[in-house]
Structures are given as structure tokens and as C-alpha cells.
Amino acid sequence: MFEMFAQDQWRMTSKLVLEYGVRYSIMKPYHSLWGNQAFFSPKDYNPSLAPKVDTTTGFLTGGDQYNGVVIPGSGFPDAAKGHVPDSILSGNYQRLFRGYDSNYSPTVYTNIQPRFGFAYQVEPGTVIRGGGGRYMQRLGISDTVHVGGNAPFQPASTVSQGGVDNPGGAAGSVTPLAFTSHAYNYPSPEAWAWNLTVEHEFTNIATFTLSYVGRRGYHLEQLANINALQPGTIQANPTVKAPDALRPYKGFSTIIEAQNNGGSTYHGMQANVKRRLTKGFLFGVAYTWSKSLDYGSSNGTSIPNPFSNAALYGPSDFDTKHVMVANYVWDIPYGTHASNPFVRTVVGDWQFSGTIQAQSGRPQSVTRNLDQAGIGPGAGNQYYTRLRQPTTPRQFGTSGQWFEVGTSCGPANTTCLFQPAAAGTFAPRGSRGVIYGPGFQSYNAALQKAFHVIPGHENHQLVFKAEAFNFVNHPNLDNPTMDPTSSTFGKVTVKGTTYASERQFQFSLRYAF
């Protein structure tokens, strides 16, 4: 990885300052020192070399089992000796070196990241600040795609018609390979971020800050099974017992490919009031009102529809519309300046502090591991549709509903408000994150006092501290049950698991010197 940057500051006037710069990053993809990684390349797959897949057993006959498999580089390096099995080094795998660089994906040389910011003093005590820029992220070694665990180095197969005691069937049977890979074109994840802030100081009272913050993410990683069947294929072929026989890349079962096709959008208003320690009291209150949307909230997000991620666009898994955090410190003045030494020692110099946090809940989705779209094994959870927007009574317990579900929900699902998508289709956009779960509240406080144990030595102190966590014992409810086949679908029946809500007390005595 190589980076360079340039920046400058220009004080245009006594009230206006500009800052600008640019960063340039060259991020070379990771590669294996021993050459023991394999990718699947759709453009190198030759249908004429595909094995034949039995429609009943799913076993393979003929063809090239490694059709489309790529080992980057021009051959195994000398360092591979002793780390890669000799059977592979001397085997018939030279054909898998198909002329790719050892990094497989090309290096991106367009990661130019401009930055700009300004600060303007409107009047004494009032400042406007703003800025924006482009930011790149280097991709780390994926914990969801293991190209070093692919065949021929570590073959893995998915068997759908085998028995428990003998999943491979008859001796010598060849089963389709399960593969993970990442796309050849693999741009660096990036984001454009911008903000605008107004800050005003109310003399001897507090400083108030109001900000708008925005962010737009591009090329975010997602996972897609590129060997999925076209929607409706399972329903159209009821006599085929081995779906692998219908896959576009025969000889393989699932091919999970990491693709940088995701995106995200964030808009937020941030308000902050902060009072410095004045007359023994300080406090701060921060509030954020925001909205975050994306096509998947982590690099391990599997796209239900591998042919398009458009329908997945919706509230981020971590979208929290409202967040409020407050903190305070009060140096209790009573007894601090008492003339009586005993009163001053026992009653004086106590400090009371605490934090309050409250936030709204996060979005939840109704999904089920049901291949309603008919795209074959490996489809993962698919979203349910809804007949209309449900009401949200927000009740706790088995006798109430957090959100409306209708009637007869469960496997029959006859009159339920949430329904599987029509056979051979996916749920449309708007099916993700349709319900927001319970929020979270926390009230913490501390009371402490420092006792001077050696007269005339202020640096020797015995500090007593009593802390209370969630001292009001506020219950934090768990998220509702989102399984449409559950008897508690739409209900919140548990508390204290999603967010801890136990009331705890903690006492300490510390000698500081």
C-alpha cells in the first residue's frame, strides 16, 4: 500500500480560514506467498467442458471439474514447497494458471481523495464550519470468502440427495464443488462525507452546536451466489431432484462471490449543548436525529436476489433514528468551606455525576429460510411481503402485540398480514426493515469523595466511590419475534437480552498518591 498527500491552509481574512488537500492511495490487493488460493472466473468457464450432472443423484460424470477455476500467477512459487501438498505442486493443475496477475484483481489507480474545509467567524462567539471529502478504505482479508479454502487446495462439496451415513453415495462418486470467490473487478470501498456546523457560545451559560452530517457510500461489499438458478426454475422443474443439474455453472453447487456493488446513504442532524465547569457544575447534552439506508449493512450480507440488489435497499440494520446522551458533574458545595474541620472532612468535597442515554429501536425484518423464489439451495433467508403497513401497539407480553400481524400466521399463513412472495419471485423493495424494535434507556450515576489522609500532603488521597448503573431499574425490552411461523410472531416476550437492563451497584475505595 502506498499513499501520499498534500494539504494547505489559507487565511483569507481574520474571520475566514480555508483548508484543502488531496490524498492519493494505491492499494494493491492481497495475494498468497505460496500461490495456494483459487478463484472462480465466469469468463473462463467453458460450457463445452462442463461435467454432466445427474438430475436424480447430483453426481458428476465427465467434463472438467475445475472448469472456470483460476489460480492467480504464472505458476507455484518456490516458497510453496513444504506448504502446498506435493500432489498439487506436481499434479495436473498448471492449466488453472490462466494468465492472471498474482493479485487476481487489478490494482485501482484512481483513488484520488480531495478534501475541503472552512471556518468563518460570523461575530465573536458565533462560528460556521463546514467541509467535505472523498475517503477510501482498503479491503481486508475477508472472513466470509475463503479463497485459500477452495479446491484444489481444500475441496468442499454440497450434497443434497445423499444419505446421512453415506452422503457421497456410491464409492468414487464425484459431487459438485462448493466455492467462494470475489469478483475480478473489485474497486475499493469509498465514501463521500460532508458536514455543516453552526456554533454559538452563550456567555457564562453554555455553548450550542447544530450540525448537519451526510455520507454516501459506494462499492460496499456484499455476497451473492452467482450460481443461483433463475427465479421460478425450481417450480418449473418439479421432477428434477438434484437442483445442481439446473445451475448455470455445472460442476459447482453454490459459488458465493464477494462483490463491491453495495451502497449507503446517511443524513443526520446533530445538536449539542455543552457547559464547562462553572460554579462547580458542568453538563452536556447531545442529540442526533438521523436516517441510514443501504443495500446491506455488513460485508457479510448475502443478497437474497443474486441478480439484483435493488430490492434490498432499505433502513440499515443499525439505523437508530433518535439518540440522546446527557452527562453532568456537580461539585456539591455544602460543607466544603465549613469552619468545623470534622464537618468539612465528612460533608465537604463530595461530587455527584452521571450519564443518561436514550435511543429509539432498530429496524427488524420478516424473513424465512424458504426458497419461495425457486433459485435453488443456498438461497438463504428470503423476505416476506406485507398486505399493508401494520399498526404498532407496542405492547409487552404474550397477550399483546408489538406490531400487528393479522390472524392465522404460521405455516398455513392463510390470513396473515405478512405473506411469502409469489412463487418464483422475490419480495419487492420496501420489505426490509418494516418494523422498528424497542429502544433503550440507561441511567447511571456516581457519588464520590476524596479524603486527605496525610495533613499537608494533597497528593495522598483515599477516594471513595459509589456507582449505580440503571439505578431507576428501567426495563429494556428485547426485539419482537420476527419468525412468521412462531406462535409469538410480532410479540415481545423477553427483556434484558438485546440491551442489558439489570440494576447494579458498585462500591470502591482507592488510595491515590
Query: What integer pLDDT is reported at residue 276 of this predicted model?
Result: 92
- Report the SS3 class of residue 89: helix
- Last-in-domain residue among 317, 336, 362: 317
Contacts 24+ apart (CB under 8 A), 82-85: 83/34, 83/36, 84/34, 84/35, 84/36, 84/153
Whether 334 and 290 map to the same domain: the answer is no
Q: Is the pLDDT higher at 455 or at 276?
A: 276
- Report the SS3 class of residue 466: strand
Q: Whole-number mean pLDDT of the chain?
A: 91
Q: Is the pLDDT higher at 380 or at 44?
A: 44
Positive/negative CA dihedral, 456, 460, 462, 466: positive
Q: Which residues of 2-20 are buried (b: 16+ CB within 10 A; e: fewer)?
A: eeeeeeeeeeeeeeebeeb
When mean pLDDT is compared across 133-147, 220-234, 304-318, 437-451, the lowest value belongs to: 133-147
Whether 312 and 327 map to the same domain: the answer is no
Whether 17 and 91 map to the same domain: the answer is yes
pLDDT digit string, tens, across residues 110-144: 999 999 999 999 999 999 999 999 999 987 766 67
Query: What integer pLDDT is reported at residue 313 of this predicted model?
Result: 96
pLDDT surpassing 70 at residue 259:
yes
- Report the SS3 class of residue 59: coil
pLDDT surpassing 80 at residue 171:
no
Query: What integer pLDDT is reported at residue 413 of this predicted model?
Result: 67
Query: What integer pLDDT is reported at residue 158 of this predicted model?
Result: 62
Query: What integer pLDDT is reported at residue 161 of this predicted model?
Result: 56
pLDDT digit string, tens, across residues 49-89: 999 999 999 999 999 999 999 999 999 999 999 999 998 99
pLDDT surpassing 90 at residue 309:
yes
CB-based burial label for 72 (10 Å; 0-12, 13-18, 19+):
buried
Whether 185 and 326 map to the same domain: the answer is no
Helix ranges (H only) for 104-212 are none
Q: Is the pLDDT higher at 343 or at 15?
A: 15
Say what percent of the chain tops pLDDT 90.
75
Whether 381 and 455 map to the same domain: the answer is yes
Query: What integer pLDDT is reported at residue 476 of this predicted model?
Result: 93
Whether 347 and 310 map to the same domain: the answer is no
pLDDT surpassing 60 at residue 164:
no
Whether 157 and 77 map to the same domain: the answer is yes
Whether 313 and 341 map to the same domain: the answer is no
247's CB contacts (< 8 A; 6+ apart) are 53, 176, 227, 228, 229, 253, 376
Half-sphere exposure of 447 (CA within 13 A, CB side): 8
Query: What integer pLDDT is reported at residue 460 of this predicted model?
Result: 83
pLDDT surpassing 60 at residue 166:
no
Q: Is the pLDDT higher at 501 or at 391?
A: 391
pLDDT digit string, tens, across residues 471-510: 999 999 999 999 998 989 999 999 988 888 889 999 999 9
pLDDT surpassing 90 at residue 338:
no
- Predicted TM-score (pTM) of the model is 0.89
Q: For residues 133 and 117, what is the distance between their CA atoms, to the nearest angstrom?
A: 9
Whether 312 and 324 map to the same domain: the answer is no
Whether 368 and 281 map to the same domain: the answer is no
Whether 313 and 398 map to the same domain: the answer is no
CA angle 159–163–148, rounded 5-degree value:
30
Query: What integer pLDDT is reported at residue 163 of this predicted model?
Result: 58
Average pLDDT over residues 162-168: 57
Average pLDDT over residues 195-220: 96
159 band by pLDDT with thresholds 50, 70 and 90: low
Q: Quote the number of domains for the chain.
A: 2
Containing structural domain, residue 71 = 1-317
- Last-in-domain residue among 259, 283, 317: 317
- Last-in-domain residue among 269, 293, 317: 317
Whether 357 and 462 map to the same domain: the answer is yes
pLDDT surpassing 80 at residue 342:
no
Match 475463503 to its residue by C-alpha cell: 146
Query: What integer pLDDT is reported at residue 456 of this predicted model?
Result: 73
